[in-house]
Structure 1
Amino acid sequence: MGVDEIYDLLKKYRENTCTPEERERIVRWYRQQDDEVEQLPEIPRKKLEQLWYSIERKMRGRERSLFFSYAAMLIIMFSVGGGIFYLAKEKRGNHPVETVHQDLLPAKGVVMLQLSDGRSIPLTGTAIIKERGGQVIENDSAKVLDYTGVREKEVEPVYNKITVPTGGEYLVLLSDGSRVRLNSCSSLRYPVVFTGENRTVELEGEAYFEVEKSVHPFFVKTSNVNVRVTGTTFNVSDYADDSRVTTTLVEGQVVVNKRDQEEIYVLEPGLTFKYKKDNGKIKIKAEDPELYVSWMRGKFKFENMRLEDIVCKLNRWYDCNVEYADDTLRDLRFSGAAEKDRPASYLLEMIETVTDVKFDVSGKKIRISHK
């Protein structure tokens, strides 16, 4: 059975709506997986017990032991392939699970390219775009904007700006061969051809950079930080509505400093620079880079993240409006992973299944409350 089918059958089993044939299938599947169920190194035991505490209350007595093993197996499966969430706090109350019935699909906005003369061009398919002086920029249907064929014709740099909307991503190949993948709700201002001693781009939002090595240093400037590299792979996130700025190094070395400070921080691979906007605190932390770059691999990935911050990320993908019935919900923390091409209801239902949080979806509005 596939992961989705197992999840659906497990949901029916918990709700006691399985047919005899479906019950037999899930029991048979469990017995085949019995040896693997006993080995759960991917999930801390405490979190597993918290998950079971939530599920156990919803089960009938003699079925609980078997269902616990199902849940344990599915945590691992969904953490890798489809997405499962567990709550990193004590559960409250004893209420039935509510199901999200409406589908909120990823948004489909149009990426826009602003040329140096102010013209705005929608990037909707394969096209040849001409800048001033006859410079040719290529765009294709695979969401790639290519400047590698542009030749230097200007003494002063000519700038373009690409803006990626909600639910979008785009790859820009800069004139030096560096690659920049922009996340949703982000923009990048950059020269059509790099001139002078430095290569400088300006970022709003989030982007993953693969910088070509050169004697000319490469700078990424955001509203809060400067990042200096020579040839490196890293991720920068500085959204205006986020509470913090992060720079995560995958390969090479980068130097980061706050825009209004001279003190610099040198990052080695696996380190993340974090700056909190509200109090100005800076932290360098060793973390799995996948937590910060999984978005470009088509996944949401969270580790002990506040619900409000998770919802903010989802909003940039699904273009939704969120309302909290209780402000304490904002600070609940979750860990998990899910594929980005699924409807929002897929994620929300799984969060509901293992927590005491309820999501009511109406059009593009999501109301979050306790069950």
Structure 2
Amino acid sequence: MEKRFDDILGLLKKSYGEILTPEEDKQFQQLMEDKRFRELYDELERGDLVREGIENCKLFSHYKGFTEFKRLRGRNKRRRLRLYVMLGTSAAVCVLAINFIFSFMSSWQNEHVSFATSTDIFPAGNEVRLLLGNGDTVSVSNEKKVLEDKGGAQIKFENGGLAYIAKEKSEEMVYNELLVPIGGECYLILEDSSKVWVNADSRLKYPTHFTGDERRIELEGEAYFEVKPGNKPFIVQTSMGDVKVLGTSFGVRVYKQEDMLTTLVSGRVLYRGRDSVQLVPGEQAVASLSGRIGKRVVDVDEYVGWKNGMYVFDHRPLEEIIRDLERWYGVTITFVHSELKRLPFTGYVKRHDKINIFLKLLESTGELKYKIEGKNILLFEK
């Protein structure tokens, strides 16, 4: 079994490198006669998963991953599922091939991987709006343009982001609001050179230039900050408390009907709500809807990786993951069988890939199946 597995995986890799010998090419063509193998190969070829990961794939232990997959595949469906699918990483092609080859070589013919025929769903797309202090609304697009703000700052629009450059400072505090819809994102450089990445379904209110003895902004939704050090404290005000820093990198997540999360990457942060919690790098403050405040050690990439184009999940319940995907892809995902909500998922998902790849890999575990109806996605127990 092990040798057969390695042979097939080797053929897959060599086919993409176009280094098959005549004999190997004959073997590969025989494999391609299987409809399931052909569908998977075509799907990979349409995307960049294999081409991005093929050079480093040898660093991943093929057989170790295969053994782990078999062990997980054989568990009771009611137990916890740990699905190792690392999309967009050097191991992506290996894991995808593992999932398929196991089904190809096994006897469970009625449980083979079935890919639903559906329209591809990509991220909803940017339609970010900026509300200026004078009441005007401006679309933040990829067009290059420069505006003069009421507060005396110059606003530069470029590549879907914007930057503020102070020209003449006045004592009047003029606020702008950045509205990022479902499926959107925006990069912002504030007047003090602090950088902000704003995630989907979020609102950021901030002054065109900072006056007084603090730098205060308001956030609803999610954003990642790299604050420029200075004498004035930088304060992120939310409906569930404030985050105070001097110069640091951190993420804040405060969506309605969800716990507030403050994740520190570097520097120090003070969260102030009903209670106060001070964080060091690698820690996260959690403010629950019930009012309880606590902190924990986390893998920061799991909570701020989105700003670098990657969703990272570590034993995350599928129900929580679905919330992120709904905001990003602009879809509605329904659990037809509620017990699926508790399935834990571990893996990496490229943020700008179509959601279909994620769904197909979920289905390949044998735990669930899905159906796409327009912008509605249904998840069923298999």
TM-score by length of 2: 0.75
Does 2:258 align with 1:246? no
Q: Return the offset for 1:232.
A: 0.5
In 2, Cα distance between equivalents of 1:246 and 1:3 = 45
In 1, Cα distance between equivalents of 2:59 and 2:348 = 24
> 1:335 — aligned with what?
346
Secondary structure, aligned partner of 2:165: coil
Does 2:275 align with 1:275? no
> 2:325 — aligned with what?
314
> 1:172 — aligned with what?
188
Change (3 A) 1:134 1:313: same
> 1:195 — aligned with what?
211
In 1, Cα distance between equivalents of 2:295 and 2:182 = 30
In 2, Cα distance between equivalents of 1:133 and 1:35 = 54
Does 2:303 align with 1:292? yes
Give unmatched runs, 5+ long, in structure 1. 23-28, 56-71, 87-92
> 1:53 — aligned with what?
74
Q: Which amino acid aligns with 2:271?
A: V
Match of 1:234 among 250, 253, 257: 250
> 1:144 — aligned with what?
161
> 2:364 — aligned with what?
353
Q: Which amino acid aligns with 1:364?
A: K
- Structure 1 stretches (4+) deviating beyond 4 angstroms? 1-6, 15-19, 32-35, 47-50, 74-86, 93-96
Give unmatched runs, 5+ long, in structure 2. 1-11, 18-27, 42-53, 77-82, 99-107
Q: Return the offset for 1:39.
A: 5.8
Q: Does the 8 A contact of 1:273 with 1:285 survive in 2?
A: yes
> 2:138 — aligned with what?
121
> 2:237 — aligned with what?
221
Q: Relative CO higher for 1 or 2, CA cutoff 8 Å, sep ≥ 6? A: 1
In 2, Cα distance between equivalents of 1:3 and 1:298 = 29
RMSD: 3.4
Secondary structure, aligned partner of 2:74: helix
Change (3 A) 1:149 1:305: same
Q: Does the 8 A contact of 2:152 with 2:166 survive in 1?
A: no
Q: Which amino acid aligns with 2:349?
A: A
Change (3 A) 1:331 1:75: closer
Secondary structure, aligned partner of 1:108: coil
Change (3 A) 1:35 1:149: closer
Change (3 A) 1:5 1:310: farther
In 1, Cα distance between equivalents of 2:355 and 2:58 = 30
Q: Does the 8 A contact of 1:106 with 1:317 survive in 2?
A: yes
Change (3 A) 1:335 1:99: same
Secondary structure, aligned partner of 1:132: coil
> Quick one: percent identity of the two aligned structures?
29
Change (3 A) 1:3 1:174: farther
Q: Return the offset for 1:314.
A: 0.4
Q: Which amino acid aligns with 2:189?
A: L
Q: Return the offset for 1:289.
A: 0.7
- Count of residues in Structure 1 that have an aligned counterpart in Structure 2: 322
Q: Return the offset for 1:151.
A: 3.1
Cα displacement string for residues 270-326 of structure 1 (whole angstroms, at most 9, x for unaligned residues): 11111221x333331111111011101111111111212111100111100122212
TM-score by length of 1: 0.77
